[in-house]
């Protein structure tokens, strides 16, 4: 697998090596030893899968508070997304900055979003399925969110913010400044 890093320290883009033949392809979608050595020495404890029926469905920006903070390893099983991580690590040089990456089922790219980041994505196609591994179990009492359109963060989402499809919860998320 090939690993790329970003200006914001911590997150990584993972490009698994695909073996193609006449039948199709084979690849190691996740390998614990390689991940620990080249990306992060973490243990994944839960796998999540989400289907979004419509293009422009936006989920986020979400995180779990300490001591239930989660690292997330995100990929697309069907369709494609624009996946976003926002640095909310207190004292970080890049606090409040975001990075975005297109993840496609056809390309197999994976984004590693460590603890200390809020995470969100928007679907680029109808019937998009997202799969992600997390390093801490779901804990509703530690769930938190930030408005996807917080002007202090200014994520360049690939859709008009007025046109995205949101959950009731995500329509009412606070701004990052209100969280501190």
Ligand X SMILES: Cc1cn([C@H]2C[C@H](O)[C@@H](COP(=O)(O)OP(=O)(O)O[C@H]3O[C@@H](C)C(=O)[C@@H](O)[C@H]3O)O2)c(=O)[nH]c1=O
Rounded Cα distance, 119 and 145, in Å? 9
Q: What are the beta bridge partners of residue 20? A: 25
Catalytic residue flag (residue 132): yes
For 60, half-sphere exposure in the C-beta direction (CA atoms, 13 angstrom radius) is 24
Q: Can you tell me whether residue 171 is helix, strand or coil?
A: helix
> Does the protein bind ligand X through residue 138 (CB under 6 A)?
yes
DSSP one-letter code for 57: B
Q: Is 62 a catalytic residue?
A: yes
Query: Which of 60, 71, 100, 108 contacts ligand X by CB under 6 A?
Result: 60
> x/- contact string, 139-168, with ligand X (CB under 6 A)?
----------------------------x-
Among 14, 62, 85, 173, binds ligand X (CB under 6 A): 62
Q: Which of 62, 63, 121, 136 is catalytic?
A: 62
Window 91 to 130, contacts with ligand X (CB under 6 A): 119-121
What's the closest the beta carbon of residue 20 comes to ligand X, in angstroms? 31
Q: Is 26 in the site for ligand X (CB under 6 A)?
A: no
Q: CA 60 to CA 56: how far, in whole Å?
A: 12
CA dihedral 126, 153, 132, 53 (to 10 degrees): -20
Given the residues 63, 132, 136, 142, select the one marked as catalytic. Answer: 132
CB of 25 to ligand X, least distance (A): 27
Q: How far apart are CA 63 and CA 36, in angstroms?
A: 22
CB 74 within 8 A of CB 48: no
- Kindly list the catalytic residues: 62, 132
Binding site for ligand X (CB under 6 A): 48, 50, 59-60, 62, 72, 119-121, 138, 167, 169
């Amino acid at each position: 697998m090939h690993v790329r890093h970003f200006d914001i320290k911590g997150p990584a883009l993972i490009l698994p090596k695909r073996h193609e033949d006449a039948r199709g392809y084979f690849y190691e979608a996740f390998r614990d030893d390689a991940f620990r050595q080249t990306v992060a020495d973490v243990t994944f404890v839960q796998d999540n899968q989400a289907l979004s029926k419509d293009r422009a469905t936006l989920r986020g920006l979400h995180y779990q508070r300490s001591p239930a903070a989660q690292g997330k390893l995100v990929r697309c099983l069907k369709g494609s997304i624009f996946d976003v991580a926002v640095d909310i690590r207190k004292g970080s040089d890049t606090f409040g900055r975001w990075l975005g990456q297109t993840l496609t089922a056809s390309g197999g790219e994976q984004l590693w979003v460590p603890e200390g980041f809020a995470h969100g994505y928007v679907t680029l196609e109808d019937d998009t399925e997202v799969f992600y591994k997390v390093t801490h179990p779901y804990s509703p009492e530690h769930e938190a969110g930030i408005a996807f359109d917080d002007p202090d963060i200014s994520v360049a989402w690939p859709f008009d913010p007025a046109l995205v499809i949101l959950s009731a919860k995500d329509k009412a998320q606070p701004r990052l400044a209100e969280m501190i």
